[in-house]
């Protein structure tokens, strides 16, 4: 099916009474298409408008969104992977309720060729599947294809559920460990710091689960709070161990927005500092730009409270959010870390190089240190050094590891 030829110009909301006209004018393809019926549990109907906005943001130009009452939505789609789309929607339809994230809707799916079944019947079968799913358990979807109803859980969705269950016992099973990636000053080749990187090796697995897979789940479920405290404690203990070896290396540790905005974050921080006895001047907390979008004033207050304890604060993955520049001057930062996506192509793209140079110059003018992440080649390092960025980390220097015999020497 030629999707470009049959592209739906723009998703929009309409009353159910207009559905026939819209279907005739927009879904002219003779190929396969699907109807997804999204039903919100009556217990959470006050979130209907919020879900409407999330659905609008999650659908593509090849989709058409229709609101049919307070708690029911239809999505008409030409997507070939409709199950994946359903899982994406389920992930969007979550709220934080009673200390945990909860999916508040269910989805029914019906697919057919246009000439196989009427659109009205397709909608009816999709709604029937949604109703069955909603009665069974909110947070799943059922697939109703013509006269056959199958309950399916997408493989990816199932894997996430399995990870979530494993994550619940990960701390008590001592499945986490930390690796450290050195940060280098290229003016003298010495390691001045290291970033702590969380690793998770669940029991029964031979290789660690990538952080990009388990960190979002930990944040979604609130488990990032106890996990984050454990990380902070381990970093402080490692710093003390290095000090005993006369290695006064600063360690940076990532903090999620969920940790930072928690009401007891500062109390937890003070408790860990007191319990471990770390020199706070050797600790750096990395925050992400997303904290600015929750509450800029609160973000500034949190940063000031951290720095008041003689702990440095750096802004990680700088440049990934649209409003970075506008908000940067409002925060008392010690360092910005240029995201590796900017560094990757500086040897091949003059525009990318110019952008990185501009970030470096801006940091200088603001009196903020600048560190380049993801440096992998000598050419990248040379260009960055030429631009006046002397602090770097990446595979060009050293891979992350649990121990570094090179601490005594220079890179």
pTM of this structure:
0.64
| Count, residues in the chain | 411
pLDDT digits (tens, 9 = 90+) for 278-305: 999 999 999 987 666 556 788 889 999 9
Facing residues of 199 across strands? 177
**153, 185, 216 — which closes off a domain?**
153
The pLDDT value given to residue 386: 93
Of the listed ranges 111-120, 166-175, 349-358, the least confidently predicted one is 111-120
Is 130 found in the same domain as 198? no
Q: Which of 153, 170, 198 is the last residue of a domain?
A: 153
Q: Which residues pair with 318 in a beta bridge?
A: 338
pLDDT given at position 66 = 81
Which comes out higher in pLDDT, residue 258 or 91? 258
| pLDDT, position 35 | 84
Let me know if residue 10 belongs to a domain. no
Q: What is the CATH number of the domain that holds 65?
A: 3.30.70.270
Please identify, among 100, 122, 153, the residue that sits at the C-terminal boundary of a domain: 153
- Distance, in Å, from the CA atom of 356 to the CA atom of 384, rounded to the nearest integer, reads 8
- Can you give the pLDDT at residue 268? 94
Residues 34 and 95 in one domain: yes
- Same domain, yes or no: 215 and 345: yes
Per-residue pLDDT reduced to its tens digit, 237-253:
999 998 888 877 899 99
Confidence of residue 410 (pLDDT cuts 50, 70, 90): very low
Between 250 and 151, the more confident residue is: 250
Q: How confident is residue 102, by pLDDT bands cut at 50, 70 and 90?
A: low
Domain identity same for 246 and 136: no
Question: pLDDT > 90: what percent of the chain?
Answer: 34
When pLDDT is cut at 50, 70 and 90, the band that residue 147 belongs to is: very low
Residue 142 has pLDDT above 60, yes or no: no
Identify the band that residue 400 occupies on the pLDDT scale cut at 50, 70 and 90.
very high
How many domains would you assign to the chain?
Answer: 2
Query: What is the domain extent for residue 302?
Result: 161-408
Measured in degrees and rounded to the nearest 5, phi and psi for residue 117 equal -155, 150
Q: Are residues 203 and 244 in the same domain?
A: yes
Does the pLDDT of residue 2 top 50, yes or no?
A: no
Q: Which phi and psi angles does 203 have, rounded to 5°?
A: -60, 135
Classify residue 3: in a domain, yes or no. Answer: no
By the 8 A CB rule, do 36 and 107 touch? yes
Q: What is the pLDDT at residue 256? A: 86
259, 327: one domain: yes
> Does 6 have pLDDT greater than 70?
no
276-302 burial: b if 16+ Cβ within 10 Å, else e: bebebebbbbbbbbebbeeeeeebbeb
Helices 82-92 and 155-168: crossing angle, nearest 10°?
40
Spatial contact of 286 and 255, defined as CB atoms under 8 Å apart: yes
pLDDT of 118 > 70? The answer is no
Q: Is residue 9 part of a domain?
A: no
CATH of the domain at 296: 3.20.20.450
Q: Which pLDDT belongs to residue 207?
A: 92
Separation of alpha carbons 79 and 334, rounded Å: 46
* pLDDT of res. 21: 52
The Cα-based distances of 345 to 88, 300, 351, 357, 377 in angstroms read 31, 32, 9, 13, 11
Same domain, 141 and 269: no
> Vertex 231, ends 341 and 297: CA angle to 5°?
65
Does residue 391 share a domain with residue 298?
yes
More confident residue, 406 or 71: 71
Q: Is the same domain home to 266 and 378?
A: yes
Q: Is the pLDDT of residue 353 over 80?
A: yes
* pLDDT at residue 17 greater than cutoff 70: no
Claim to verify: residue 68 and residue 197 sit in the same structural domain: no
- Phi first, then psi, for residue 150 (nearest 5°) are -125, 130
Q: Does residue 7 belong to any structural domain of this protein?
A: no
- Residue 89: its pLDDT value, please? 76
CB distance 167 to 173 below 8 Å: no
Residues 76 and 169 in one domain: no
Q: Closest Cα partner for 315 from 359, 370, 393, 259?
A: 370
Q: Is 319 contained in some domain?
A: yes
Q: Rounded to whole angstroms, how far apart are CA atoms 146 and 220?
A: 35
Residue 411 has pLDDT above 50, yes or no: no
- Would you say residue 56 lies in a domain? yes
pLDDT reported for residue 72? 85
Assess whether 124 and 194 both reside in one domain: no
- Dump pLDDT digits (tens) for 188-238: 988 999 999 999 999 988 899 999 888 878 887 788 999 999 999 999 999
The pLDDT value recorded for residue 145 is 38
């Amino acid at each position: 099916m030629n999707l470009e030829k049959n592209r739906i110009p723009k998703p929009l909301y309409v009353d159910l009474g207009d559905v026939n006209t819209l279907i005739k004018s927009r879904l002219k393809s003779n190929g396969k298409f699907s109807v997804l019926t999204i039903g919100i549990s009556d217990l959470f109907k006050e979130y209907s408008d919020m879900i409407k906005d999330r659905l609008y943001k999650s659908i593509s130009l090849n989709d058409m969104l229709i609101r049919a009452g307070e708690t029911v939505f239809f999505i008409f789609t030409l997507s070939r992977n409709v199950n994946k789309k359903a899982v994406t929607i389920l992930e969007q339809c979550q709220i934080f309720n009673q200390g945990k994230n909860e999916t508040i809707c269910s989805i029914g799916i019906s697919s057919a060729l246009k000439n196989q079944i009427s659109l009205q019947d397709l909608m009816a079968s999709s709604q029937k599947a949604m109703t069955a799913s909603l009665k069974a358990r909110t947070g799943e979807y059922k697939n109703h294809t013509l006269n056959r109803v199958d309950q399916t859980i997408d493989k990816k969705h199932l894997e996430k559920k399995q990870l979530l269950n494993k994550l619940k016992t990960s701390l008590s099973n001592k499945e986490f460990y930390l690796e450290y990636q050195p940060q280098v000053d290229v003016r003298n080749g010495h390691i001045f710091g290291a970033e702590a990187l969380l690793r998770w090796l669940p029991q029964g697995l031979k290789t660690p689960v990538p952080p990009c897979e388990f960190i979002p789940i930990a944040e979604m479920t609130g488990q990032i709070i106890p996990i984050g405290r454990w990380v902070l404690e381990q970093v402080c203990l490692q710093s003390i161990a290095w000090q005993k070896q006369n290695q006064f290396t600063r360690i940076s540790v990532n903090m999620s927005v969920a940790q930072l905005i928690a009401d007891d974050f500062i109390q937890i921080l003070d408790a860990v500092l007191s319990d471990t006895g770390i020199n706070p001047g050797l600790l750096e907390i990395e925050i992400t730009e997303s904290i600015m979008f929750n509450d800029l004033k609160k973000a500034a207050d949190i940063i000031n409270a951290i720095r008041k304890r003689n702990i440095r604060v750096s802004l990680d993955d700088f440049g990934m959010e649209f409003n970075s520049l506008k908000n940067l001057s409002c925060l008392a930062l010690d360092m910005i870390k240029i995201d590796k996506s900017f560094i990757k192509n500086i040897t091949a793209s003059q525009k990318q190089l110019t952008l990185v140079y501009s970030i470096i110059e801006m940091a200088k003018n603001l009196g903020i240190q600048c560190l380049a992440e993801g440096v992998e080649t000598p050419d990248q390092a040379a260009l960055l050094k030429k631009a006046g960025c002397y602090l770097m980390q990446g595979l060009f220097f050293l891979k992350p590891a649990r121990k570094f015999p090179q601490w005594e020497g220079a890179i």
